[in-house]
Amino acid sequence: MSLTLATIFATSFVIALSGALMPGPVLSVTVSESVRRGGAAGPLMIFGHSILELALVIALLAGLAPFFSRDEVFIGVSLLGGFILLWMAFMMFRELPTLTLTIDSHDAKQRNLVVAGILLSLANPYWLIWWATIGIGYIMYSLKFGLAGIIAFYTGHILADLAWYSLISFGVAKGRSFFTDRFYRVLIGGCATFLVVFSGYFLYSGLEKMLRS
């Protein structure tokens, strides 16, 4: 049981990290705010992000769990999630040569970073797609191990976001020499490779369940 929970935690961490690495509104604001407000910008943004995701997990468990436990839903989510992961990996590999972190400090307006983390997450279409496909699949699997499984999933997911955005904030605040574009691209490439493997797992799980039905 403990090994299974550790596996849920580890895979949740890496998949979440793969998503967090890709540029988006939360990353853009984190970078610009870190220039002016230091290394605390990233953790504050992710605190808001984590509140939103905890509310979403609770809502899914409270009202949608019975629906998502059905075989046909598992098949659909697994297959769609597998294709989404494969598409994400393709896009990450394609963008590798030109990926860069640009620092924009033109916006001098003070903002509540916790609230910004919530609103910018909601405004990101990728976030909605991820939870409607991959996230639901993870919750369905984790739920088999009760509350401990859900906690392992959620903890791994949020710690990945926190680790990455804290690194971003620290690197930007301390200077570009600490966090280079080359290092960024290596991380993206590694996570893209992991996504290819995991997409195969999702597709296999969905096809196996479909053939059994």
pLDDT of the chain, 213 residues: tens digit per residue:
677 899 999 999 988 887 787 767 787 778 777 767 888 999 999 999 999 999 989 888 887 656 666 778 778 877 887 887 788 788 878 888 887 766 555 544 567 999 989 988 887 767 876 787 788 888 888 888 888 999 999 999 999 999 999 998 888 777 655 667 787 788 778 878 877 887 888 788 889 888 887
The tokens describing 159, both together, are 């710690």
Question: Torsion angle of alpha carbons 196, 17, 87, 73, nearest 10°?
Answer: 90
- List all residues 6 or more positions away from 64 whose beta carbon is below 8 Å from its beta carbon: none
Residue 191 Cα distances to 20, 47, 88, 112, 130, angstroms: 10, 23, 10, 31, 16
Task: Say what the pLDDT of residue 48 is.
Answer: 95
The Cβ-side half-sphere exposure at 176, using a 13 Å CA radius, reads 7
Task: Say what the pLDDT of residue 103 is.
Answer: 53
Is residue 27 a contact partner of residue 123, using CB atoms and an 8 Å limit?
no
Task: Say what the pLDDT of residue 108 is.
Answer: 46
The tokens describing 130, both together, are 């991820």
Coil, strand or helix at 167: helix
Is residue 39 a contact partner of residue 184, using CB atoms and an 8 Å limit?
no
Task: Say what the pLDDT of residue 68 is.
Answer: 60
